[in-house]
Structure 1
Amino acid sequence: MTGVKAGLRWALAALTALALTMSASLARAAETVLFIGNSFTYGANSPVWKYRSGSVTDLNGGGVGGVPALFKLFANEAGLDYVVSLETAPGQGLDFHLKQKLPLLDKAWDHVVMHGLSTLDAAKPGDPALLVDTVGQMAKVLHARNPKVDILITATWSRADQTYPEAGHWHGQPIEAMGRDIRKAYDAAAAASPYVRGVAPVGDAWNRAIAVGFADPNPYDGISAGKVNLWAWDSYHASAYGYYLEALIVFGRLTGKDPASLGARETAAQELGISPPQATALQQIAHDELAAYHGK
């Protein structure tokens, strides 16, 4: 009888140890991801704005889902577990977040995805200096909290409203020009900070979508049959297609998973009204852009 009791105690101890090990493993698997940005992150002027907001934590309490919620869903579909948070403010660069929101951000995150103003600097459109400086400052703060933090910066897209109207800073240049300039600025910011892993090339993916004929290059002269408009009604923010492509690039860049593996029946595409062929095409564009990526 004594031997039986000892055996039961040993079995119970073994099961307890196994449960603790599994619990610790699950805790380690749920890495944190923080998104810092503006309307290009929260999905302004599209159904992405409040999309699945309950799946992520809006640190400002605004009920935003946005690109972070798309990322979270893609990760779940790929069998990955992340705890996703976001802190966004319309029309702001990283200088605003450093000055006004640092108490919300100054924590030990596992992954951070961030970007600045779409024109780089409101006072000096196209000038990378402010972006380079503020990326460096923010990355230093985040690294101080967690020396292993994985930081990506998102190079955003060409704005049609900055290209076709005469008042636009990139007026008279090809639609791809602004995206290329933005990418160069983000490359410079990544190169200047030892704490930034690299760039999520969203603007390049938009340019690729136009180059392969999936997306229309000029919303001001109408959308050609068989093509989509990556921009929202203001020709500035993204449509559901544009934000979907942004999220695919971030998903692939952060996780290392192939966006094309999500498939034609991917859930967010169905819920946002993106057809299976369109979802497949966007995933392939993201796949091809990430395969062509050159940088840190």
Structure 2
Amino acid sequence: MPNRNRIAAVLVGLATLPVTACAETILFVGNSFIFGGNSPPVQEFQPETVTDLNREGMGGVPALFEAFTREAGLSFDVSLETASGMNLDFHHDQKAALIAGAWDHVVVQGYSTLDADAPGDAGKIIDYSARLARLFHAANAQVEVRLVATWSRADQTYLESGHWFGKPIETMALDVRAAYDRAAAHSSYIRAVIPVGQAWNRAIADGIAVRNPYQGVGTGQINLWAADNYHASVYGYYLEALVIFGSVTGYDPRSLGREEQAAAQLGISPAKAVALQ
């Protein structure tokens, strides 16, 4: 009888323990636009909070995403596989064994001009995003695969050598978005396109960010581009991470507010953090 009482007491105790939900897993696949190229504070941001499958010690946008989820009270186990200057074919052909796993979420980002050898050509993005989505779906039929439509490059728009030279700064981002929309329509395994480039366009249209960095930055404005007018600045990557956070989690990035901690660590003022949110 005493033994039964002890067993009953243990069972009651177990029943009152809080239930801890398992962390959702997410993999980021991409290039320097994911790991924070040309922006050391982002690239080196809290690498200990994420798993770099290539063991290069990157933090980048995935670490910013992870920080946002913690602040929101969410639990995500974040991994990344990135390679500078590479498109989706590289990750599929060279890294399949490394990235093929039962992920809950996968965020995929391709080359900034869609194709390094043929800027504006969506063929490779459409083909290999579908191949990667099939790879992830084979390991977990419930995986949510999202594609990141990135920003207009100032060097591709304002320099004569650029594929989008002479067009409004918004155009490249819209063309990239259209290409990723075609890719998503091509595969039933792709859940959505994340509109990072359009968020940049919105920041420019609202006067938060400078339109042409070659003409300097106005008082009170921010520059979304790094010094090369190609990669993102701290502000640009912060905005990218916010958009991805909102898309994947369904949380409104504005809920992070003025006291958002990653912004403070990156040197972004509370007012500018709120403006970007």
Q: Report the TM-score when normalising by structure 1.
A: 0.91
Q: Given residue 26 of structure 1, which amino acid in structure 2 is its aligned partner? A: A
The SS at the match of 1:76 is helix
Residue in structure 2 matched with residue 55 of structure 1 by the alignment: 49
d(CA) in 2 for partners of 1:5, 1:59: 50
Deviation at 1:239, TM superposition (A): 0.2
Shift of 1:226: 1.3
Shift of 1:16: 4.2
Secondary structure of the corresponding residue to residue 253 of structure 1: helix
Q: Is 1:103 the equivalent of 2:100?
A: no
> How far apart are residue 10 of structure 1 and its match?
1.3
The reply to whether residue 69 of structure 1 matches residue 69 of structure 2 is: no
2:43 match: secondary structure: coil
Shift of 1:105: 0.6
Who is 2:9 aligned against?
11
Determine the C-alpha separation between the residues in 1 that align with 2:188 and 2:125. Answer: 15
CA RMSD of aligned residues (A): 1.2
1:88 matched to 2:82: yes
In structure 2, the residue matched to 1:35 is 28
Alignment of 1:156-235 (within 5 A): 156-235=150-229
Q: Does 1:131 align with 2:129?
A: no
Match of 1:44 among 34, 37, 46: 37
Deviation for aligned residue 1:14: 3.8
> TM-score under structure 2 normalisation?
0.97
- What is residue 264 of structure 2 aligned with on the other side? 270
Tell me by how many angstroms 1:129 deviates: 1.0
Letter in 2 for 1:249: V
SS of residue paired to 2:158:
coil
Quick one: which amino acid aligns to residue 139 of structure 2?
A: R
Q: Percent identity?
A: 56
Distance in 1, matches of 2:238 and 2:149, equals: 15
User: What code does the residue aligned with 2:33 have?
Assistant: F
Deviation of 1:88 after TM superposition, in Å, equals 0.1
CA shift, 1:26, in A, is 2.6
Could you say which residue in structure 2 is the equivalent of 1:242? 236
- Give per-residue Cα distances to partners, 1:137-191, cap 9 Å, x unaligned: 0000100100000111100000000000100000000110100000000111111
- Residues 1:149 and 2:143 are matched in the alignment: yes
Alpha-carbon distance between aligned partners in 2 of 1:197 and 1:257, rounded to the nearest angstrom:
17
1:12 partner SS: helix
Q: CA deviation at 1:18?
A: 5.9
In structure 2, what is the Cα distance between the partners aligned to 1:17 and 1:222?
62
Question: SS of the residue aligned with 2:78?
Answer: strand
The one-letter code of the counterpart of 1:182 is V
SS in 1 for 2:145: strand
The equivalent of 2:116 in structure 1 is: 122
Q: 2:229 aligns to what SS in structure 1?
A: coil
